[in-house]
Structure 1
Amino acid sequence: MIGTRTLAQWVRLGVLGLLGVVAAAGIIVLAARGVTTLPGVPDFLERYPGEYAPAVAVDPGFPAWARWNHFFNFFLMALIIRSGLLVRHQQRPPAFYTPKRGGQKVSIYLWLHTGLDVLWLVNGAVFVVLLFVSGHWARIVPTSWEVFPNAASALLQYLTLEWPAEHGWVNYNALQQLMYFTVVFVAAPLAAITGVRMSSWWPEKAERLNRIYPAPLARAIHFPTMLFFVMFIVIHVFLVFSTGALRNLNHMFAGSDEVSWAGFWWFAGGLVATVLAWIAARPLLLAPIAGVTGRVSAR
């Protein structure tokens, strides 16, 4: 038994779920291809190919700070999602953490989740600052209203499995730009604002503030925001590998527009490090680290 079902039952559910996903994907692709045959749609796709020239000139390529920031973001996000799910579903925490300088006692997993959040926010702040200082902000910030019809065009092309033109080394297509903008400037701030409200750092006795911004509201936003990040990561990784894996991985991991295995091996090394950290994030190994700034106890 695994939970409430046997292994065979889980396997059957998995197979049925996979078949359902494949069937749904097939229907969506056929429907999208049907849309492209409707009157006016071919002209629309020709007028809006899926990308537009940015209003601000941006140097091609990805500087080293962007590549390292991208890796740290992925690494921290994976651990944040894991620790967040542990906090959400834990019945009895395996250990507790109490700050040395006084403060609320929390579970070891909540301590991990909060600590990772702080590192993630620092990494994000560095990224945003360097993004605007370097001028690379025009890559992910729309500079024309044409972004919307081009994004619709790119989405339709993706759904037909006839990928829009990819020039990621120089310019993102409009749909990519809107998604990256949403991740950086909408979803990330939402995750931070709601996370702070649910953390032990929020003042419990601020009655008026708590009435204006109640914890249930923060919870109702925080978890869907996490699901959005998971959905984005899955789709992002799928498209990276399905639209030219070696070149795409070289862009963000090797800083090159060539087609070679260099970026893949950097990606594989980062993935191994992330998996090892995922496995290592357990009380036995967390306790000595948490003990530097507080006291870890069984109750």
Structure 2
Amino acid sequence: MEAVEMKSVPLKRPHSEDDVANAEEIKRQKISPKLKTGNDSEQSLETVAEQPEKPLLEDMKNEVIPNEINEDQEDEELEDSDEDGDPESFADMMKHGLTESDVGITKFVSSHKGFSGILKERYSDFVVHEIGKDGRVSHLDDFSVPVDDEDPSEETFTVLSEEDKQRLEELQLLKNKETSVAIEVIEDTKEKRTIIHQAVKSLFPGLETKTEDRDGKRFIIAYHAAGKKALANPRKHSWPKSRGSYCHFILYKENKDTMDAINVLSKFLRVKPNIFSYMGTKDKRAITVQEIAVLRITAQRLAHLNKCLMNFKLGNFSYKNHPLKLGELQGNHFTVVLR
């Protein structure tokens, strides 16, 4: 018998070219309706999304309109309140400036047309001169120191050496860390020591003196007056009997309240503020001239403050036996600048 070789043959029937073309056309037909339905669904979604826009706009319009109505109502209410005469706040007044009616001025002495201006823009625009009980207007025009019979003699000004004067001045102005200055007494007599004591107190107001023995020598020790005893009784031990107990003077000050000025003076003089008296307090934001009285402080000590203080001047010194009292004045003379 002959052997026969068997080859595997595929069971599928081969497609012709026409069959392939027909299959592709069928696929196209199936896909195209899907695309159409997809487009239709997108369009339907777009229409659904577009439809709510109209009512939203209408709602927004409805919301805006009430707001406008509310604003109109508020304006009408404000107009009504203005017509009713409701008072403005201080901030509103300051926007357009204060008028006469704002501060209660309703009538005028003169009939001419008024004018506007700025009051006290600078402290120098407001100058006050005190008028005393006798009608005299206070002016600062004399810086001299009064001299009486019990003032120090000429020898008082020559007993100290230039070196001692330099050291005492530095101590007085607190320019160094020394708390005292020792001056040796060459001729140890009571008269000599008295002259040195008078010289230190007269030439350097604010300093006190005492006598000490050191290594068998006599020294005059100068130091700043301090302590309760010195503050309570300022210079009481050396005050002449023939001199008035109160030193009256004219105080010129700039941009300072009267009490602030008194506190500054008492601090530099190392005394309590209650030994000062005056007839009235003056404005802070101004240039003021007034009379002040102080108990048992010499004119020399007060005049020395003109070298130490700024925006203060003291002068027209005199000694009297009485202090000043509040209200003992006729009034004040004002010089006002309007800008």
Same fold (TM over 0.5): no
Point out the structure with the larger strand share: 2
Greater RCO (CA < 8 Å, at least 6 residues apart)? 1
Point out the structure with the larger helix share: 1
Q: Which has the larger radius of gyration?
A: 2
